[in-house]
Structure 1
């Protein structure tokens, strides 16, 4: 009897779930609303509590803050140093976000890192929604939704959504332009493109140039060149209306490039092109060097949970490489990927603008029932789905215990649920329930975001050196204070303390700084304290030790012990 009772319950449940799914799928707006909610669940935990992440994020944020302080929205500076590496776009967006925050009454808005991250958050959400739009040129609504959901739950986009940098906004621009290019190619001969497609393409191109220079033109140019060669014709590009589009792009980007050329005397172009871009192509920048194949290896972590399914889909892509949708996706992915692999300087987010195309072809393979446990080694390979959350759970626990002799108790239950959901996703996959497996992996990703970014990082106190040092400075009993640092020179400290933070080189300079009059505080890293004490003893000075702050500097890979010495309190 129990069996007869249970079956109708399952049927009714499936019936209502199917009705709800069908109701959502009938509307682009509803599907996009679900994608926005999924994105926010994955992107918002820890958005305000995560400290400024050295070194790039606080450099961008500090430069934007100085624009507001100086009222100069042409030149880009970090303290007194010209920051001529990237164009102005992200700095304008961050400055606008902070200005709106100040207008709305956000306390200490200019040192609130979350306000500088808002453009990245919006860029990440836009990347998801634009992936849905771009995928509609290849897939139906359900397939486009899955491709966009793979982006929303990918680890790399979760990270970039929380960092005040260029990469999430750049990814949105890339998907907008490539979505427009896809429609031009796949609908060639069908007449003119819709105005929305043209707007997305040219706005994405212009904004992408202002955000990160030549990368968006590179993506578009490489894909167009490959397709031009394949078709032995470029006439299909005319549907993008290149002449008025190019005029529009120049009108958007030229004013600032002319202004910065005049302001910097041409130094911006020599620094951004000669040092930053060519330095990555050559051997000038070796700090982030990695061998070819780095991005392929990193892909299995950065595009989790979709990465292993994408790997299983590779034979499908090869088999259907001459099909026009697959051909376009390959033109989007392969040339740019090869260039990134050949360039010596490598960082995992560089290839992120190519991930939407990978998501699209993966869903193509899934929709044709190519991806499943019947593929060679698929049952074994998909153990990577639970491997990532299980590995992060163990890694976070080990890090918390090693650094702070504690456990991330708040995060562990959520991380355990994430691991269980990922194991369930793997179990569903091997039982040939691929779509259910994908939904379970999305749940695992959402829980992982909450566990790692929302809760786990709160317990890694040793990694929060700059916020703790800034707290020492802000807790001084005097209002007008001067602060300097010796040995510890992370950009996050400049952002949190203030633009006038002095960077000292020797113990004698630190000793002289404290004697300069008024309320003063100097941070001295332990490696420099003998020099600092010797300088004070020679001059008969006895600076007061206010407190000590110890922790782990993830950039240098060293434990640090920093003394805070005060004078004039």
Structure 2
């Protein structure tokens, strides 16, 4: 319908769809390939995908010539498809995650419209899209966006089931769990089973849960989807895969601290505000709802989040993105009670803490540089202080001032102003902070790899674990001490160790930036040997 001036006016629902679509484009696709792959995870997934394509073996994953049993196959298949379509570039490696995150947001919006209204559904979708944790995994060339999609879809099916049990809903839940099992393993089954058990038990609906949990047709769907690849990979790789994946990377990861990722019972209390940024105040305002003993969908949402929070707080290995397995129901509850956010201080102060941290980053790094003594960390800090210059500060300051101006737009409700501030934070992250971090850590690795790509001598990696070097070099890189005549990529403080191993050899530095060194061990006559 036209307005009084004759201009077309979109229906309210269409306006919210446009807002959600714009948030998806900003959060997951804007400048998706604008910076190098981050190590360790993005580099490892991308290189394993490249080695899969090079070998033609689409069952198993290898990283720099060694078996990689960390994750199942689904996300590698999606990356391989994207690389086949667009070539081996950052955009192609990250595109599957962006697609998964987009489906995640749209699915929540579609589910919530009939339950909390169009504006509430849009609030939930915008919260998911613009929360910092969601943005990070939705842009990362890893398996996490896919796993969160399958967990979110499973949660939505369980929510539908508790409203009106239907076999089609239940079978879809088993399908999503199967795809999650193909993406990241047992966590895709453990979280839904524990959360649904706790919910139905809390409402005295044991029989419904037992009927759903032991639905033979559901398990038939699960096995039909998930089992074939596991049987094939076990047949190809043998017991090494079973131990490497199920025991080492799942059971032991829960029982023991792996790869230095330890924490404490309070770890996720500290992490959650950053993962939810800039919506931590909104969460605090909503926490009081739990004391009112909600029922139905809201109770299920709280319990699902609580199970994830407790389960991974008890885990010996803790990473920030684990808490995202419970973020869909949590943000749905926040959207349900968006008008409980009445305190401007509570809403906006946590949001501006993130801007303050971005502004303080150069000084924080300068302070940290005074407490490190290894050459690599010192050179990395020096590079950071060069890149985080006045242009960086002016850019972040401009976004901060724009966010401050949003506070005074009284025509918008507090939660709507906070969404607008989240848009500005997303722009600050994608145009300024993330590119700066990539320039500090990853550009030297990429530049060294591009030099190594054109070298005739064999290239190895020593005392460094940055798989993106292999991605940009275009081939696997063996990890070991170099022998005379070879080129090695390493960190600057390790050069002395290589020199000590070959006292009669000359080390020719081919590249040295940001603590990353590419050098060749040159022979001097026929007597250049290790000690």
- Pairwise TM-score range, normalised by the shorter structure: 0.7 to 0.9
The one of 446, 464, 480 equivalent to 1:504 is 480
Question: What do residues 246-292 of structure 1 show as CA deviations (whole Å, max 9, x unaligned)?
Answer: 21221111110111111121221222221111222212526111111
**Equivalent residues of 1:134, 1:179 under 8 A apart:** yes
Tell me the residue number matched to 1:517: none
> Residue 521 of structure 1 aligns with which residue?
487
Partner residue of 1:437 out of 412, 417, 421: 417
Distance 1:342 1:239 in 2: 27
TM-score relative to the length of structure 1: 0.80
Q: 1:565 aligns with which of 514, 520, 525?
A: 520
Counterpart mapping for 1:255-266 below 5 A: 255-266=228-239
For 1:492 and 1:501, how far apart are their aligned partners in 2?
10
Matches of 1:535 and 1:566 in 2, distance apart?
Answer: 11
- From 183, 186, 189, the counterpart of 1:217: 189
- The question of whether the paired residues in 1 share the 8 Å contact of 2:460 and 2:487 is answered with yes
Q: What pairs with 1:45-60 in structure 2 (closer than 5 Å)? A: 45-60=30-45
Render the CA deviation track for 1:357-414: whole Å, top value 9, x for unaligned: 1111112222xx32212xxxx6256411112123213316865876352445555454
Q: Which residue does 2:326 correspond to in 1?
A: 354
Aligned residue pairs total: 505
Alpha-carbon contact 2:271-2:320 (below 8 Å) kept: yes
Give the deviation of 1:425 after TM superposition: 4.7
Task: Check the 8 A contact 2:283/2:334 in 1, yes or no.
Answer: yes
User: RMSD over aligned Cα, in angstroms?
Assistant: 3.1
**CA shift for structure 1 position 181:** 0.6
User: Of 405, 419, 427, which aligns to 2:386?
Assistant: 405
Are 2:394 and 1:418 equivalent residues in the alignment? Answer: no
* Whole-angstrom distance in 1 between the partners of 2:391 and 2:28: 19
**Where in structure 2 are the equivalents of 1:91-170 lying within 5 Å?**
91-101=76-86, 106=87, 109=88, 112-136=89-113, 138-170=115-147
Structure 2 residue aligned with 1:385: 351
Unmatched 5+ stretches in structure 1:
1-10, 515-519, 552-559
Q: Give the SS at the match of 2:177.
A: helix
SS at structure 2 position matched to 1:285: coil
Task: State the Cα distance separating 1:337 from its structure 2 match.
Answer: 1.4
Residue 62 of structure 1 and its aligned partner are, at CA, apart by 1.4
Corresponding residue of 1:6: none
Name 1:547's counterpart in structure 2.
510
Q: Give the aligned partner of residue 463 of structure 2.
A: 487
Note the C-alpha offset of 1:336.
Answer: 2.1
Q: Is the 8 A contact 1:120 1:162 kept in 2?
A: yes
Q: Measured at CA, do residues 243 and 207 of structure 1 come closer, stay the same or move farther in structure 2, by a change above 3 Å?
A: same
Q: How does 1:305-320 map to 2 (within 5 A)?
A: 305-319=278-292
**Closer, same or farther in 2 for the Cα pair 1:379/1:175, shift >3 Å?**
same
Which blocks of at least 5 consecutive residues in structure 2 are unaligned?
366-380, 524-531
Higher relative contact order (CA 8 A, sep 6+): 2
User: What residue in structure 2 maps to residue 285 of structure 1?
Assistant: 258
Asked if the contact 1:76/1:83 (under 8 Å) is kept, the reply is yes
Three-state SS of the structure 2 residue aligned to 1:344 is: coil
**What secondary structure sits across from 1:52 in the alignment?**
coil
- The Cα offsets for residues 173-218 of structure 1, whole Å up to 9 and x where unpaired, read as 1111110110111235xxx47x5x5575343222111001111212
CA distance in 2, matches of 1:233, 1:438: 38
**2:40 is the alignment partner of 1:70:** no
Say if 2:335 is the partner of 1:372.
no
Q: TM-score, normalised by structure 2?
A: 0.85
